[in-house]
Amino acid sequence: MDKRTLGQGLEVSALGFGCMGLTFGYGPAQDRSNAVALIRAAYDLGVTFFDTAEAYGQLNEEIVGEALAPMRDKVVIATKFGFREGDNTKGLDSSPARIRAVIENSLRHLRTDYVDLFYQHRVDPAVPMEDVAGTVMDLIAQGKVRQFGLSEAGVDSIRSAHAVQPVAALQSEYSMWWRSPEVEILPLLEELGIGFVPFSPLGKGFLTGAITTETELDASDFRNIVPRFSADNRAANQHLVERISQIASRLGATNAQVALAWVLAQKPWIAPIPGTTKLSRLQENVAGASVNLTQADLAEIAGILDGFMVSGDRYPAALAARVGR
């Protein structure tokens, strides 16, 4: 797989692997051995960029650590801090003491002595960004962290952090049906030389066409509380999926592959991190990195997206209040 360079010279595979769904957010946790095998399969397919977080649970980091231990020096591992006691239901905590505690726990769970990319999971308005960036700068000086990242941060926070400790990457949602970063975030990242790591590049699975109004999500699947996934909004958004399907059919590709190719085509310093629990979907996603959209294809897609109003908010109000700070 082709490589891409994020900020501060951080080289990653063009397509990363988001490990969250292996244990968190999308239903019951996967069997540990199967999850380890899937991550190793991703590596065999050329993926060298793997994303986890304290908030996804200790098991998630442990799976990533076990899977990648044999090839640790050949991969980039990203994890995150920012929630009280590592629990995203208990509020934010990016205090320096908490950041230091998280890195020690993560290093142990990941079976490594350094983390390649350490993100602040959400901006904590109670802690000055200068203190957050300064603490990570200290961890970099100690060799425990290689690069600093932010997740779902706003323009002011990105500038404040970058002025203290250069930011290698911003991780935020970005896809055909969530293009808000194009307004202010992408121009700022280009100005500052910061890479972009889109999560949910497949619209939390919706853009693949596998989710319809009849799809029943597991009771523990967080999409049950996402307005965009209500039955009415799913029905309204199907038209976008149908238009993507038409393009995919013409190109001999799948919806997922076109959606990933579109994200990759936006900027050379973008490295999306789709997740999956299935080997077949992993293989499909990786093949998407080789789909080349022509300028005519991109213009056609732009026309479709500009003329389509997506129905439903991407987060419920309580979660929406945590982003863009």
Which residue in the list 56, 114, 174, 315 is annotated as catalytic? 56
For residue 322, CA distances in Å to 11, 198, 315, 318 come to: 29, 17, 10, 7
Strand partners, 149: 119, 169
For residue 160, CA distances in Å to 150, 187, 325 come to: 11, 16, 12
**Which residue has 């999500």 as its token pair?**
217
Nearest to 259 by CA among 203, 311, 306: 203
Which one-letter amino acid corresponds to residue 207? Answer: L
Instruction: Tell me the torsion sign for CA atoms 107, 112, 114, 120.
Output: negative
Nearest to 47 by CA among 275, 254, 206: 275
Please confirm, yes or no, whether 26 is among the known catalytic residues. no
Which one-letter amino acid corresponds to residue 20? Answer: M
Q: Which residues form the catalytic set?
A: 56
